Chains A and B, each alone.
Chain A
Amino acid sequence: MDRFKIGKRVFNSRLIVGTGKYKDLEQTSDAVNASGADIVTVAVRRVNITDPKEPMLMDYLDPKKITYLPNTAGCYSAEDALRTLRLAKASGGWNLVKLEVLGDEQTLYPNMQETLKAAKVLVDEGFEVMVYCADDPIACKELEKIGVVAIMPLGSLIGSGQGIPNKINIQIIKRQSKIPVIVDAGIGTASDAVIAMELGCDGVLINSAIAKANNPILMAEAMKNAVIAGRQSFLSGRMEKKILANPSSPLEGKINN
């Protein structure tokens, strides 16, 4: 049985989906259901004091039925990220969290120095930390040493839909890691998700590629199938590549012999 284990938790789906950028909460919930994901990322933000009746995400996605993975999106320092995740934990005991500390607004590239600093404190405080990080094998090794539960290198920039231009780094990171490696950010379409899984990654995290598709619900299903196909393909072990053709039908018994 091929099980997806993060820390001590076991999940069925290797697809984690984000819940941002959708038209409304109904579409968010429909897309999440179509994706078959067991884990959704969520952001921590101020309650709208002037309109407390505004619908909340929890009204559409039940945290008892799907695992909420609170993130630190929009945090540019270790301190901000720590504040955010401590609040997330206080909200209802969320211990499994996604840490991301960004470097600048243009690239939303991770600031690894701050990320490593925050990861250390969170692990010491008993959090199970999944970390959005650069596709830098050395930084990933440091994260594993600190004791995070999953490494989540970017395929390409957040929201860029550029896929995985540097497959080699992802492979190196996967090869050296004993904890799950999940490609986070950059997936643009289903084939990108297949590639991530065929590289041997343990999962993918997708938001924009689903939310920004013309038909998000259909794309959510496509991503679900892509992750399954990629995983099965990886486990099957691909055929050897050859320079020249090799016929699929037998040469014996041809009528013109």
Chain B
Amino acid sequence: MIEIQLNGKIHKLREGVNIDSLLEDLSIPKAKVAIELNRQVLHKENYTKTFLKNDDQIEIVTFIGGG
């Protein structure tokens, strides 16, 4: 098991998980979100080849109502 920070909260998951499977596990639609990994924007084409490591900080964001 590894521990990551997911949207500011500790999240445990097995080793060897890439971004695509993380989104799938969380039932989050890929097309509607953007991701930052360790404060760097992660482009969608890199989701498959990016595997999460212990202590990674990941932000998953979407658009909500705002002025």
Contact = CB atoms under 8 A, between A and B. Distances in A.
Interface of A: 18-22, 25, 28, 41-47, 49, 52-53, 56-58, 63, 68, 70-71, 73, 83, 86-92, 158-159, 205, 207-208
Query: Which 6 A-B pairs have CB atoms at the shortest separation, nearest pair first?
Result: A43-B66, A18-B67, A207-B67, A91-B34, A19-B65, A42-B63
B64 to A, nearest CB: 5
In this complex, which of B8, B9, B63 has the most chain A Cβ atoms within 10 angstroms of its Cβ? B63
B66 A41 contact: yes
A47 B63 contact: no
A52 B42 CA distance: 20
Interface residues of B, number: 28
A44 B61 contact: yes
Interface in B37-63: 39, 41-44, 59-63
Contacts of A20: 65-67
B65 A25 contact: yes
Contacts of B42: 90
Nearest to B28: A52
17 contacts: A18-B66, A20-B66, A21-B67, A42-B63, A44-B63, A45-B61, A45-B63, A47-B7, A49-B60, A57-B62, A58-B32, A58-B62, A83-B39, A86-B41, A87-B35, A90-B43, A91-B33
